[in-house]
Amino acid sequence: FRPPVTSRPMFLIQTLKNVMSGWISTIMASLLKLIIIPIVVNTVGKEIYGMWLLVFNVINYFYMADAGVSNAISRLYAFYKAKNDENRLSSLILVSYGFLLVVAIISCIVLFFSENFVFDFIKGIPGSQNIFHFIFIVGIVEFFLTFTLKANAGVIRGEHR
């Protein structure tokens, strides 16, 4: 992609702004983590924080069930939007939500029934099963909500293409 000669300075300025905002955002997120992690660990304790990290790391593997659908949504949304094809836009959004909802439900069922296996696998502390169960349920709910909203992220990216 080569911008027209007359818009190259504007293109370079916009590119520089985008790169700088990306760097600033990454630096701010890193600094925030450096501040928040010690506070959380001192508040809930190392064991509970460790369980939280392990549970959410296990659950993060299920995000691969997306299989690139959110990226396809953004590409197809931009394509159909450019053609003003409202019927295909509606179909794309409906099918995407349906697919992501079904995959999220199946993933949550698998996660729910694998809770005891995960607890045994990470060698959970005896007597901490209730805390682990609570963290696991919170993780499953977070996964379900985030996973089904991936269609929204795809639409938003498609709007900006």
Q: What is the tens place of the pLDDT at every residue in 15-52?
A: 888 788 888 988 999 999 899 889 989 998 888 888 88
Give the predicted TM-score (pTM) of the model.
Answer: 0.72
At 61 the pLDDT is 87
- What pLDDT shows up at residue 65? 82
Structure tokens at 140: 């499953």
CA distance 30 to 32: 5
Measured CA to CA, the distance from residue 55 to residue 137 in angstroms comes to: 10
In angstroms, the Cα distances linking 110 to 48, 59, 140, 158 are 23, 11, 10, 31
Across the chain, mean pLDDT equals 85
**Three-class SS of residue 40?**
helix
CB neighbour list of residue 119: distance below 8 Å, 6 or more residues apart: 129, 132
What CA–CA distances, in Å, run from 34 to 37, 39, 60, 114, 150? 6, 9, 21, 32, 28
The Cα-based distances of 118 to 8, 58, 62, 141, 154 in angstroms read 54, 8, 14, 17, 31
Full DSSP string of 11-72: HHHHHHHHHHHHHHHHHHHHHHHHHHHHHHHHHH-HHHHHHHHHHHHHHHGGGGGGTTHHHH
User: What is the Cα–Cα distance from 133 to 112, expressed in whole angstroms?
Assistant: 10
Q: What is the pLDDT of residue 9?
A: 75
Kindly indicate the confidence band of residue 2, based on its pLDDT and cuts at 50, 70 and 90. Answer: low
What does the pLDDT average to over 66-90?
87
What is the pLDDT, as a whole number, of residue 6?
55
